[in-house]
Each structure stands twice: as C-alpha cells, then as structure tokens.
Amino acid sequence: MKRCAAALLVLAVTAAPLGMPRPAGAAVELKFYYPVGVSGPLARVVEAMVSDFNGIHPGIHMTPIFSGGYYETMTKTQTAVMVGAPPDVAVLLSTDLFTLLDLNAIIPLDAFIRESGGEQFRNDFFEAFWLDQFPQALTARDQLRCAQAELSTHNGGDIQNMCSNDLQAELTGRKTPGAALRDAQQQADRLLSRYRKK
C-alpha cells in the first residue's frame, strides 16, 4: 500500500536540527507548515493524513500548522528560518526555491533515501511523487539550470542597514562622505554579486 502520510516528511524539509537531545522515549516533534486555512475540506484531509502518520509512527509526532495561502506560508517559513526556528516540513511553491536555497533552508534527502532502502523505499510512494515519473515537474526542474537568483524582499533589511549605517557614519563625522560612499558601494557589490550574471 502506498503511504501518503509518509510522503509528508519528504515534501520539503527545512534545515531544522532533528538530532537535538530529547528525553529517552520521547517522540520526535515535527512542525508541518501547510498552505490552507484552518477550516475547509482540504484542512480536514491534511489533518487526517497527519493523524494517520502519527498513528503509524509512534516515535514521531507531527503537528500541522495551517498558515494561510502559499504566500503567507512562505513568509511564515522564511521568518521562522531567519530566527532559527524553522518548520521541519513545509509545503511551498517551486518559485520559492532560490529564496530557500539562499537561506540554506533545504536539506537534501538523498542520503536518507539511500539509508532507507533506496529503490525499495522509493517504490513505496506514488510514482508522480518522483520527478522522473512526473513530466511536468521534470520539465520545471530542468529549467532551473537556466534560472537566475534574484534579489528579494528578505534582503531589504540588509540594504537598509547598509545605507543607513554609512549615512549615519558620514553625518556623525566618523567617515568622510567619500569613504562612506565607497564603503556603501563595496557592501552593495558584495550583496549583489551572487545575483549578477557572470
């Protein structure tokens, strides 16, 4: 039988420290961000899947956190990652990939799959779950090599601090106008270097 509930763990795993110490016999606690409202038929389906998963895996307790639409879920995930308390699992859009990569928020599951039986483990999931069995996802993945990272709103704080710190240094006399401008330009170049075409 295909295990839909087990697929929840492999949808999108973020960089949470799963190996943190816990009392002997205590269940591993997982936070699962899902982009639906608290009410409605889809929320009930996800709650049932999580309940089934928790029943099948007594050593793991997954808590679904319904976080609004995809945009709100990404915002909540991004904020949680940046403050050091990321979700263990999150369902997000493929367009969020570069932001998540920039945040070092994605853990590859290749080693886990190998250790769990490789092909035998993969065969326990619906074929469409794997990119090579799902042409639309395969096409999207293949286009990633042509994609470019871009500056996003999560860089806003860095940009504001960069500008205001050098402006403040110039206004208070800690830097000359030329030095403040040069330092701001160097910081901007460093921040933007990974987004510029080579």
Calpha distance 74→15 (Å, rounded): 15
Among 3-17, 80-94, 144-158, 170-184, the least confident range: 3-17
More confidently predicted of 168 and 80: 80
More confidently predicted of 12 and 124: 124
Calpha distance 185→162 (Å, rounded): 9
- 187 in the same domain as 103: no
Residue 166 within any structural domain of the chain: yes
Mean pLDDT throughout 182-198?
A: 77
How many independent structural domains does the chain possess? 2
Pick from 92, 113, 93, 124: which is nearest to 4 by CA?
A: 124
Residue 118 within any structural domain of the chain: no
Residue type, 175: K
Residue 163 within any structural domain of the chain: yes
Residue 62, exposed/middle/buried by CB under 10 A (0-12, 13-18, 19+)? buried
Mean pLDDT throughout 88-106?
A: 84
Tracing tokens 């639309």 back to the chain, one arrives at: 136
Residue 122 within any structural domain of the chain: no
- 73 in the same domain as 19: yes
Question: In the listed set 52, 72, 107, which residue is the last one of a domain according to the structure?
Answer: 107
Residue 62 within any structural domain of the chain: yes
Q: What sign results for the dihedral spanned by CA atoms 84, 107, 35, 149?
A: positive
Domain range for 171 is 153-195
pLDDT band, residue 128 (cuts 50/70/90): low
pTM, two decimals, is 0.52
Question: For position 82, which CATH number holds?
Answer: 3.40.190.10
- 100 in the same domain as 10: yes
Calpha distance 48→20 (Å, rounded): 28
Residue 130: pLDDT over 80: no
Start-to-end C-alpha separation, the chain: 49
Residue 2: pLDDT over 70: no
